[in-house]
A and B are shown apart, each in its own frame.
Chain A
Amino acid sequence: MKDDSGMGVSKREARLGRFRVLDSRPVNLDGFSAEDSGIGLIAFESPDDPAPSLRLGPSGEVLEMDGVDARDFDCIDAYIARHGIDSAVAREAMDMPEIEFARMIVDPGVPRGAVTRLAAGMTPAKLAGAVALLRPVELQMAISKMRVRRTPSNQAHVTNRLDDPLLLGADAATAVAYGFRELETTVPVLGDAASNAVAVLIGSQVGSAGALVQCSIEEALELELGMRGLTTYAETVSLYGTEGVFVDGDDTPWSKAFLCSAYASRGLKMRVTSGGGAEVLMGAAEGKSTFYLEARCVALARAIGAQGVQNGGIDGAAVVASVPDGMRALLAENLLVMLLDMESCSGNDMLVSESDIRRTAHLLPLFLAGSDFICSGYGSIARHDNMFVASCFNADDLDDYLILQRDWGTDGALRTVDEETLAAVRERAAKAVLAVYKDLGLADLDPARVEQVVVAYSSKDLSEGDPHAALDAASAILERNLTALDVACSLARTGFHEEAERVLGMVRARVVGDYLQTAAIFSEDMTVLSKITDPNDYQGPGTGYVLSPQRREQIARVRQERSTAELLAEQAALAGSVVLNEKGISQTGHDPREVCIGLSPAFASRLWVTLSGVPVFEVLREILAGLEEEGCVGRTLVVRSSIDLGMIGLTAARLAGSGVAVGLQAKGTVLIHRRDLAPLANLELLSVAPLITREMYRRIGMNAGRHAKGLRPIPNRNPYTDESYEARHHATVCAMVAIERDACRDGLPVDVEIARSASRTEAS
C-alpha cells in the first residue's frame, strides 16, 4: 500500500489477519451484484417501474393500467386488466395512498378480509408500492395476519440421483413421518417421471394418510400424470413477469388459465410458480425491478384463478439475494400472494447462500411468522440427491429445524421421529414399492436392496442397481395407462391394505373436491384444512393459530432432550467410587506451609466426576501432588455452608496456616484464594471446567504452594477454544448445581479424607 494519504499508513506485505479470516468464511463464496436497473438487477423501485394508475371505462373495462394504454397492453397486462381487477373496489383501492394501505396490512385491528377486499382492486404497481414500504418485522406481522390458512404446513422435496424407486418410497415415507404434508418429486431423466410419481405416491401413504404428492416435469406430462391420479397436486405451472420470458416458457396467460382449469376438472389441487429473478436470469426484465415483475406474476395468478402461488425463494432467488434489499424482497413476494388471498408456498426453496447464517436468516422470518407452506420444498433428502437443486434447508438440517421450533415455541410444521419408527416406515415403504412394481409387472427389483435402502442416508449408499429399472417401469405405467386405482388394487393384492385404503382415500378426495379450495391440505385423519375450513383469524396477541398442548409437547420433546437424571448418568456411573471420611470440625492451622483445599458441598458425596470427565478424586490428587512438589502440606476440608466457589476458597484460606487455599467445586471449577482478599476476588481462577486438564489441576496445586511461600507463580492460561462450552455443558451444569445446592447446609467446615472405595477397588 502506497502511503500517499499523508496519514502515516505504512507499507505492508502481509494481508491483515482480520481479512484473511473473513475471506475464508462461506458467505464470501456468495455473489453480490451492484444494482443495475438497466438489466433488472434491482430488488425494489427500478427507475423504469411504472407509477400505479388505473383508468376505467363506463362499463368497468380497463382503459389504462400502470401507465400503459390498453392498446399497448402486452399479454400479461391484457389478462390482468380483463380478469384480475375487481372494478367494484378499484377506485377506492387506487385512490388510497400506499402508506395508508401499508398500515392497514400490518395493523392487527384491521380484519384480514378488509385488506384482501381492497387488494383485489389494485394494480400490480399499486400493490408493489404499498408492500415495498414495509420493514422486515412489519412484513412478518403482515404475514402472520394475511396468510390464508390458520394452521401452518410444510412441503418436502423427495428425489434421488438414481431415480431409485425403493429409495424414493422410503424417503417419501420419511418425509411424511417428519410431518411434511406435500411431497414434490422430479427427475434427472424425464423418462423416469411416471415411475418416480408412483414410488413417491406409495411411500407418501405409509405411516399416515393424506400427504399430497406432485411430480414436477414438463407441463403436459405433469397434467397427464395428475389426470391418472398418480399425483395429487401440481405446482410447477410457471408464470413470468414479462411477455418475452412468458412466451419463451412456451405458454401464454390463456394457456396457463386453461391448465388451471384442466387440473381442477380432474379434482386436482394446483398452484402456480413464479418468483423474482427469473426474468433477469433470462435477460428479459425490461429494466423493471424483480419485485414489480413478481407483483405482475402474482396478479396474473389471481386473474387466471389459481388458488395459490409458490414464490419468494425459487429458481431466481440467489439473483434477488445478490442485490441490496434482496432478502426482504423475497419475503415481500410471499406477502403479495397472501394479500391477493391465495395460498402461499413460501420460498425457502433453493439454497440461497453458502453461509449457514445467511440461509438461516432467509428462513427465519417466515418460520416465525408461519405460512401455508413454510418451505416450498424443504430438501428432505441429502443435498446431493436433490434433483431440483439443494434446498435452503436439507436432511442434515432436520435436527436444527426441530430445535428451532422448540427454541421459539413456534410451529414449523415438523416433528421429531425416533430411529425405530423411521426404520419401520422406510422398510414398509420400500417393501410396498417392491411389491407393487413386481405385482404390476413394472420391474423385478432386488429384494436385498430393501435393507440397503432402509439404512441409506442417500443414493450414494446404494449399489448401482438396474440403471434402466425406473425408465422401463415408467414406460409401462404410461403405455398401460395405469392409474391410482391400479396402484391401490396392487397394494391391496400384495398385503399393503392400509396403504391401499389411503391411496383410494386420495382418489375419493378428488371426487369430493374440497381440496380445490384455497390453501387446502389434509390432516392425517383426512380432514381438509383450507381457507374455508381453517381460515386464519389472527388479530393480534391471543388470536390466530395457537399450539395445542399436544402439539407443544411434540415440539418440546426433541430426541436430544434429557431429564436431570439422564444428565447425571455419568455421575451415577462413578457413584461410590471413593469414600469421604469426616475427621471433625476444621481448626485454624499454624504451619506456614499448610494450604487448605476447600471442597464444595456435594464433592465426592453426591457428585463424582467433573465436567471435563476427570473423577473428582483424581482432580484432588493432582492438586495435592502439586502442593507436595512445592514442599507444601495440603489439608482437605468440605465447606457445606456455600456453593459459591469464592466463599468456599476464602473460608478455606482463613483456616490455612499459610492463609492460602484452593477452592474446588465438584464440576471442576477451581481457584486460588487468600485470607485477606474479598470473597469474589482471587489469585487465580480456572472458570471453564470442561477444558481443565489434569496437568492444569497439578499446576493449580503448585501455584497455590508458591503463593503460600510468597513467590509470584505464572498463572495457568485458559486453553484456546472456539467451542460453545456453555451450549454443550450448561444443561448438565444446572443439574450438578442443583445437587450442590441441595447438599448445602449451615455448619462449620469439616476436615475430610478421601480414599478409593475398597469395594470398588476390588471390583476393578
Chain B
Amino acid sequence: MTIRTASGKSLEEITLEAALAGDITAADIRIHPETLRSQASVAENAGNPQLGQNLLRAAELATLRDDEVLAIYEALRPHRSSRDQLEAIASTLEASGAALCAGLVREAARAYEDRDLLRKT
C-alpha cells in the first residue's frame, strides 16, 4: 500500500524544500484514515482486538478538526454533559460516518446515567 497523507500527498512530497516553499500545510501531515484502518487490522491480527478498535475509532476521528476532537473529549469528562447533549454528539458523529465513536459516546451516556456522572442540573 502506498502511504498518503490525509490530504493525499505522498511521503516523498513531504520534504524540507516543499515545507520551506510553503507547499505543505498542517493538513498535509495528518495521517490518512485508511492508514489507521490498516494499522488496526495489523493490531487485531497480532492478537489485540482492543487496540484494533481504538485505531478504528481513531480512523473516524482523523477527519475531524482538532477543536472538534478536543470538544468531544471535554464533553465526555465527568459531569460535563446531559444525556441529551451526549446523544447529540453521538448523532453528529454517526452522521459523519463515525459509527464506532458514536457508539462509544452512547455507551458512555448510559453508564453516566447509572453512575451519576451526567451534568448536574
B50 — nearest CB in chain A belongs to which residue? A305
Distance of A227 Cα from B53 Cα, bound (Å): 20
Which residues of chain B are near A514, meaning CB under 8 Å? 39
Which residues of chain A are near B31, meaning CB under 8 Å? 265-267, 510-513
| Residues 242-262 of A contacting B (Cβ, < 8 Å) | 243, 247, 250-252, 254-255, 257-262
Query: Is A341 within 8 A of B77, CB to CB?
Result: no
**Best-buried of A82, A255, A484 by chain B (most CB within 10 Å):** A255
Distance of A219 Cα from B74 Cα, bound (Å): 10
A739 on the interface (CB 8 Å rule)? no
A84 on the interface (CB 8 Å rule)? yes
Interface flags, B39-55, vs A, CB<8A=1, else 0: 10011001111111111
In the complex, identify which listed stretch (A283-291, A452-460, A499-507, A646-654) lies at the interface while the others stay far away. Answer: A499-507
Distance of A258 Cα from B80 Cα, bound (Å): 15
Interface flags, A484-496, vs B, CB<8A=1, else 0: 1100110011000
Given contacts A220-B70, A223-B70, A254-B107, contact A116 B11 (CB under 8 A): no
Given contacts A252-B77, A303-B50, A485-B29, contact A257 B20 (CB under 8 A): no
Which residues of chain A are near B117, meaning CB under 8 Å? 75, 247, 252
Which residues of chain B are near A265, meaning CB under 8 Å? 31, 36, 57-62, 64, 69
Q: Which of A75, A116, A223, A513 contacts B47 (CB 8 A)?
A: A116
Which residues of chain B are near A84, meaning CB under 8 Å? 50
B32 — nearest CB in chain A belongs to which residue? A511
B112 — nearest CB in chain A belongs to which residue? A252
Query: Is B42 within 8 A of A511, CB to CB?
Result: no
Distance of A517 Cα from B66 Cα, bound (Å): 22
Which residues of chain B are near A228, meaning CB under 8 Å? 26
Which residues of chain A are near B101, meaning CB under 8 Å? 258, 261
A113 on the interface (CB 8 Å rule)? yes
Query: Is B73 within 8 A of A258, CB to CB?
Result: yes
**Best-buried of B29, B104, B108 by chain A (most CB within 10 Å):** B29
Query: Is B76 within 8 A of A252, CB to CB?
Result: yes
Query: Is A532 within 8 A of B77, CB to CB?
Result: no
The minimal Cβ–Cβ distance linking A490 to chain B, given in whole angstroms, is 10
A181 on the interface (CB 8 Å rule)? no
B65 — nearest CB in chain A belongs to which residue? A227
Query: Is B54 within 8 A of A508, CB to CB?
Result: no
A516 on the interface (CB 8 Å rule)? yes
The minimal Cβ–Cβ distance linking B16 to chain A, given in whole angstroms, is 5
Query: Is A255 within 8 A of B73, CB to CB?
Result: yes
Query: Is A74 within 8 A of B115, CB to CB?
Result: yes
Interface flags, A305-323, vs B, CB<8A=1, else 0: 1110000000000000000
Distance of A250 Cα from B76 Cα, bound (Å): 10
Q: Which of B19, B59, B73, B112 contacts A504 (CB 8 A)?
A: B19
B side interface size, CB within 8 A: 57
Distance of A501 Cα from B15 Cα, bound (Å): 8
Which residues of chain B are near A517, meaning CB under 8 Å? 39, 42-43, 46, 51
Which residues of chain A are near B64, meaning CB under 8 Å? 265
The minimal Cβ–Cβ distance linking A531 to chain B, given in whole angstroms, is 6
Distance of A484 Cα from B76 Cα, bound (Å): 28
Which residues of chain A are near B60, meaning CB under 8 Å? 261, 265
Distance of A75 Cα from B43 Cα, bound (Å): 26
Q: Which of B14, B38, B108 contacts A511 (CB 8 A)?
A: B14
Which residues of chain A are near B16, meaning CB under 8 Å? 488-489, 492, 497, 500-501, 504
Query: Is B51 within 8 A of A262, CB to CB?
Result: no
Which residues of chain A are near B83, meaning CB under 8 Å? none
Query: Is A113 within 8 A of B50, CB to CB?
Result: no
B119 on the interface (CB 8 Å rule)? no
B3 on the interface (CB 8 Å rule)? yes
Distance of A275 Cα from B77 Cα, bound (Å): 22
Query: Is B29 within 8 A of A518, CB to CB?
Result: no
Query: Is A227 within 8 A of B66, CB to CB?
Result: yes
Query: Is B51 within 8 A of A307, CB to CB?
Result: yes
Q: Which of B35, B69, B108 contacts A512 (CB 8 A)?
A: B35
Query: Is B111 within 8 A of A220, CB to CB?
Result: no
Distance of A116 Cα from B48 Cα, bound (Å): 10
Which residues of chain B are near A267, meaning CB under 8 Å? 30-31, 35-36
B110 — nearest CB in chain A belongs to which residue? A78
Which residues of chain A are near B73, meaning CB under 8 Å? 219-220, 223, 255, 258-259, 262
Given contacts A84-B50, A117-B47, A252-B108, contact A305 B115 (CB under 8 A): no
Given contacts A511-B3, A512-B11, contact A257 B54 (CB under 8 A): yes
Distance of A275 Cα from B31 Cα, bound (Å): 32
Given contacts A78-B111, A266-B31, A511-B31, contact A492 B48 (CB under 8 A): no
The minimal Cβ–Cβ distance linking B53 to chain A, given in whole angstroms, is 5
B78 on the interface (CB 8 Å rule)? yes
The minimal Cβ–Cβ distance linking B95 to chain A, given in whole angstroms, is 18
B75 — nearest CB in chain A belongs to which residue? A255
Which residues of chain A are near B88, meaning CB under 8 Å? none
| Residues 71-93 of B contacting A (Cβ, < 8 Å) | 72-74, 76-78
Query: Is A518 within 8 A of B48, CB to CB?
Result: yes
Q: Which of A113, A266, A516 contacts B30 (CB 8 A)?
A: A266
A23 on the interface (CB 8 Å rule)? no
Query: Is B61 within 8 A of A261, CB to CB?
Result: yes
B115 — nearest CB in chain A belongs to which residue? A75
Query: Is B62 within 8 A of A254, CB to CB?
Result: no
Distance of A266 Cα from B73 Cα, bound (Å): 15
Distance of A730 Cα from B42 Cα, bound (Å): 55
Distance of A517 Cα from B74 Cα, bound (Å): 26
The minimal Cβ–Cβ distance linking B113 to chain A, given in whole angstroms, is 11
Given contacts A227-B66, A261-B57, 19 further A-B contacts (CB under 8 A): A224-B66, A254-B108, A257-B54, A267-B30, A267-B35, A304-B54, A307-B48, A485-B29, A488-B16, A492-B19, A507-B14, A511-B5, A511-B14, A511-B31, A513-B35, A516-B36, A517-B39, A517-B43, A532-B42
Minimum-distance CB pairs A-B, first 3: A305-B54, A264-B58, A254-B108
A-B contact list, 11 entries, CB within 8 Å: A75-B115, A78-B111, A229-B29, A254-B108, A492-B16, A493-B20, A507-B29, A511-B31, A511-B32, A513-B39, A518-B48
